[in-house]
C-alpha cells in the first residue's frame, strides 16, 4: 500500500461537533429528568446520582471515541470473527442472570452492567461490510448468494436478542441489515420479499406475547386503559403537550415527578418536549438529521466498499433508533424500549455508540486522500 493511502486527514468537524452536542445535551437532560427521582429514592438520596454516572460514562465514551478515531478502520476486518464470537457468548450469558422487569437483557458484574445487544447491532454491520466487500457486487444481486446468507446471520443475532425479550433492538438489527443490503446492490424485488417476511415475523412476535399485544392496542387507543397499558404513552403525550412552543423551563418538568416511569431512559424525549418545548425538540431532531447527513456524505466519499458499507451501517443504527424512539414518545408507533442515542441514560449504550462514531470519524479522516 502506498504512503499516500495510509495518510489521514482531519475528521469531519461538523459530525464531531454534532456528536459532542448531543452527548452534552444528554448529560444535562439526564440530570434534569432524573433529579427528582434520584433525590427521593431511598437507595440514592442524591439528586445528582444519575448525572454523576452519565457524566462519567460520557468521559469514558469520549476517550474511547478519540482512541478509535486514530485506529485505521480497515484493521477492524481482522477482528470481525472474534467480535462475532464474543457477541454471541455475551448474548447467551444474559440468561445466567436474573431478569429485570421480565426481560433478560443485562450482563451484571458487581455494580457494573451492560446490554450485549448494544454490541450485537454493530457487530452485524462489521460482518456485513467485510463479507459483502469480499463477495463482490454481482453476487449481492442474487437472492441465494446475496440476500439469504446475510438474513440468516442477522436473523440469528436478532433471534438471540429477541429471546431476551428485546423485540425493539432485534427489529433495529433487521432494518439496518436491509438498509446495508439495499446500498450494496440487492434487488428491489428481493428486498420487498424480505420486508414482507420481517413484517410477518414482527406481527407474530406481537400476537404471541400478551404484553406486546397490549402495547400495540394501547398505541391505537391509549385512553382505553389509562391506568394500565396506555398509562406511559398518555403521560408522555401530556408532557409533550404541556411544553408548548417554548417549554416550561429546564428542570421544571412535572411529569418526571413519578408520573412517567424512568423519565431519564426511553422517554427522555418527552421530558425534553415538556421542559424545552417544540423549539428544544426541533433542535434535537435537527442534530440527528445533521448526523445522518454527514454519515451519508462519509459513506459516499469512502475510498473503498468496506468503508462505504461500514459508514452506512453505523449511521443507520443511530438513525433507526432515533426515529423509533421519537415515534414512540409522540404516539406515532407502539411503545417499545429503544433508547434515544447519546441522550437516554445508559452507560453501555453511550460508550458503544461513541466508539462506533469514532470508527465513522476515522473513515472521514481518510476520505480526503481518496
Condensed to tens digits (0 to 9), the pLDDT of residues 303-347 reads 899 999 999 999 999 999 999 999 999 988 887 778 999 999 988
* 102: phi then psi, degrees, rounded to nearest 5: 85, 0
- Is 99 a domain residue? yes
Cell numbers placing 10:
482531519
pLDDT score at 102: 64
| Domain housing 295 | 8-367
Place of cell 442477522: 154
- Is 52 a domain residue? yes
- Is 1 a domain residue? no
- Is 2 a domain residue? no
Nearest-10 Cα torsion for 286, 341, 261, 98? 170
- Is 3 a domain residue? no
- Is 343 a domain residue? yes
Ramachandran quadrant class, 267 (left: phi over 0; alpha: psi -120 to 50; beta: rest): alpha
| Beta strand extents in 240-326 (DSSP E only) | none
Ramachandran quadrant class, 45 (left: phi over 0; alpha: psi -120 to 50; beta: rest): left
Q: If DSSP codes are grouped into helix, strand and coil, which group holds residue 341?
A: coil
Q: Are 337 and 355 in contact (CB under 8 A)?
A: no
**Interval 219-239 mean pLDDT:** 84
Per-residue pLDDT of 150-206, as tens digits, reads 989 999 999 999 888 888 899 899 999 999 998 988 777 777 777 777 777 767 767
d(CA 315, CA 353): 10
d(CA 231, CA 236): 9
pLDDT score at 370: 43
- Is 109 a domain residue? yes
**Interval 31-36 mean pLDDT:** 92
Query: Is the pLDDT at 66 greater than 90, yes or no?
Result: yes
d(CA 341, CA 284): 11
pLDDT score at 193: 74
Q: How many domains does the chain have?
A: 1
DSSP calls for 72-129: -GGGGGGGHHHHHHHHHHHHHHGGGS--BTTB---EEETTEEE-HHHHHHHHHHHHHH
Nearby residues of 340 by Cβ (< 8 Å), 6 or more positions away: 266, 268, 269, 321, 322, 325, 326
d(CA 315, CA 299): 9
pLDDT band per the 50, 70, 90 thresholds, residue 221? confident
Amino acid at each position: 500500500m502506498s504512503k499516500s493511502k495510509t495518510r489521514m486527514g482531519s475528521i469531519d468537524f461538523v459530525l464531531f461537533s454534532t456528536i459532542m452536542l448531543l452527548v452534552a445535551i444528554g448529560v444535562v437532560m439526564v440530570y434534569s429528568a432524573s433529579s427528582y427521582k434520584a433525590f427521593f429514592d431511598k437507595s440514592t438520596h442524591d439528586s445528582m446520582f444519575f448525572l454523576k454516572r452519565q457524566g462519567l460514562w460520557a468521559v469514558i465514551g469520549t476517550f474511547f471515541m478519540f482512541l478509535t478515531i486514530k485506529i485505521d478502520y480497515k484493521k477492524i476486518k481482522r477482528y470481525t470473527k472474534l467480535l462475532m464470537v464474543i457477541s454471541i457468548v455475551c448474548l447467551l450469558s444474559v440468561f445466567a442472570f436474573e431478569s429485570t422487569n421480565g426481560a433478560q437483557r443485562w450482563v451484571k458484574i458487581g455494580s457494573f452492567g451492560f446490554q450485549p445487544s448494544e454490541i450485537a447491532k454493530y457487530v452485524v454491520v462489521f460482518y456485513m461490510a467485510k463479507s459483502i466487500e469480499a463477495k463482490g457486487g454481482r453476487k449481492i444481486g442474487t437472492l441465494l448468494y446475496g440476500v439469504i446468507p446475510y438474513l440468516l446471520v442477522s436473523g440469528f443475532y436478532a433471534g438471540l436478542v429477541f429471546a431476551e425479550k428485546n423485540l425493539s433492538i432485534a427489529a433495529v438489527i433487521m432494518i439496518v441489515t436491509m438498509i446495508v443490503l439495499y446500498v450494496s446492490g440487492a434487488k428491489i424485488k428481493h428486498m420487498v420479499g424480505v420486508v414482507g417476511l420481517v413484517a410477518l415475523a414482527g406481527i407474530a412476535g406481537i400476537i404471541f406475547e400478551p404484553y406486546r399485544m397490549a402495547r400495540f392496542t394501547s398505541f391505537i387507543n391509549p385512553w382505553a386503559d389509562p391506568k394500565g397499558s396506555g398509562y406511559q404513552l398518555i403521560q408522555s403525550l401530556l408532557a409533550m403537550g404541556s411544553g408548548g412552543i417554548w417549554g416550561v423551563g429546564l428542570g421544571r418538568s412535572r411529569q418526571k415527578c413519578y408520573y412517567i416511569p424512568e423519565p431519564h431512559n426511553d422517554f427522555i424525549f418527552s421530558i425534553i418536549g415538556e421542559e424545552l418545548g417544540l423549539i428544544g425538540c426541533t433542535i434535537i431532531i435537527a442534530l440527528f438529521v445533521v448526523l445522518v447527513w454527514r454519515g451519508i456524505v462519509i459513506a459516499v466519499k469512502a475510498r473503498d466498499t468496506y468503508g462505504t458499507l461500514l459508514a452506512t451501517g453505523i449511521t443507520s443504527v443511530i438513525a433507526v433508533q432515533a426515529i423509533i424512539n421519537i415515534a414512540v414518545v409522540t404516539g406515532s408507533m407502539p411503545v417499545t424500549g429503544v433508547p434515544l442515542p447519546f441522550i437516554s441514560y445508559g452507560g453501555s449504550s453511550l460508550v458503544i455508540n461513541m466508539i462506533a462514531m469514532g470508527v465513522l470519524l476515522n473513515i472521514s479522516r481518510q476520505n480526503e486522500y481518496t
